Amino acid sequence: MSKEFEMTDIGLMAYYLGVEVKQLEDGIFITQEGYAKEILKKFKMEDCKAINTPVECGIKLSKNVGGEKVDPTLFKSLVGSLRYLTCTRPDILYATGLVSRYMENPTTTHFKAAKRILRYLKGTLDYGLFYSNTHDYKLVGYSDSDWAGDNDGRKSTSGFVFFMGDTAFTWMSKKQPIVTLSTCEAEYVAATSSVCHAVWLRSLLEELGWPQKEPTTICVDNKSAIALSKNPVFHNRSKHIDTRFHYIRECIAKKEVQVEYVKSQDQVADIFTKPLKFEDFIKLRSLLGMINQV
């Protein structure tokens, strides 16, 4: 099986369901600029003032937040449009996931948070993912979590992203299914989710002719969670954790994955778990491989 994709003529793939693929000399640029413009026009935000982050740092939303009720159909339409945009815009994934928690009974506060994402898009319409020509097929993942960030159920948010080369190609931001009792436990649960995805990706890549001969590295910024994943002796810390979340230990023992420490400032998955300051957000957005087309 050939290990090279020949893309001499993208042809009909140049625009498919709102996704634009532009072939350049040193790679391909994928964007949804046209679709983003359609969203702004649909919700009458094409002349809005641009803003530099999709979610306000330190924002605290909840189901019981004050404000007048908003038409749920309109709100769901906006959130649905933003969710489709996350196919090429991982930088808005956390913000979109946050406002999607309030689709059943949205208020003006929730609607304002969703419209902030549109204001961010206004200033970044030409942003997308650039995949350069590379022979680096090594799979690397980053896993992160906040702790008890959901004000209603006190659940944490897991986030992960996987790279082949310099650009992200799969990512996730999702509220955890259980309430965790510590930052260590929240990071452990998030790491387990990323390991499950890594195992699936390894199987897929093998079918495509790119087998991962070495264990896939998962970067985590919590040393206690790493120790818990490698050492089953910590009974007092882990005996209350659901058995399914200990799958990570089996994968490490089988050398399918290896968990390594990364400094918090270099944890790319942090952009999927919490609101960030402008400087941190811009740095992590760049590390994802997102650029604006020049």
State the 10-residue block means of pLDDT for the chain, 294 residues long: 46 64 88 95 96 93 88 96 96 97 94 97 96 87 95 95 93 94 91 96 94 96 90 58 76 94 96 96 96 80
Q: 154 and 179 in contact (C-beta within 8 Å)?
A: yes
Smallest Cα–Cα separation from 51: which of 287, 282, 284? 282
Where in the chain are the domains? 31-127, 136-273
pLDDT at 5: 44
Q: How far from 243 is each of 42, 101, 160, 190, 222, CA to CA, in Å?
A: 46, 27, 21, 14, 21
**Predicted TM-score of the model (pTM):** 0.90
pLDDT at 9: 47
Strand, helix or coil for residue 232: coil
Pairing assessment for the beta strands 216-220 and 19-24 based on DSSP bridges: unpaired
pLDDT at 64: 86
Pairing assessment for the beta strands 127-132 and 27-31 based on DSSP bridges: antiparallel
Cα 36 from Cα 34, distance rounded (Å): 5
Strand, helix or coil for residue 108: helix
62 token code pair:
């909840």
Domain 136-273 has CATH 3.30.390.10: no
Residue for token pair 């190609």: 169
pLDDT at 294: 59
CA–centroid distance for 213 within its chain:
26
Outline where the chain has alpha helix (H): 33-42, 72-85, 93-99, 108-122, 183-207, 223-230, 235-238, 247-253, 278-287
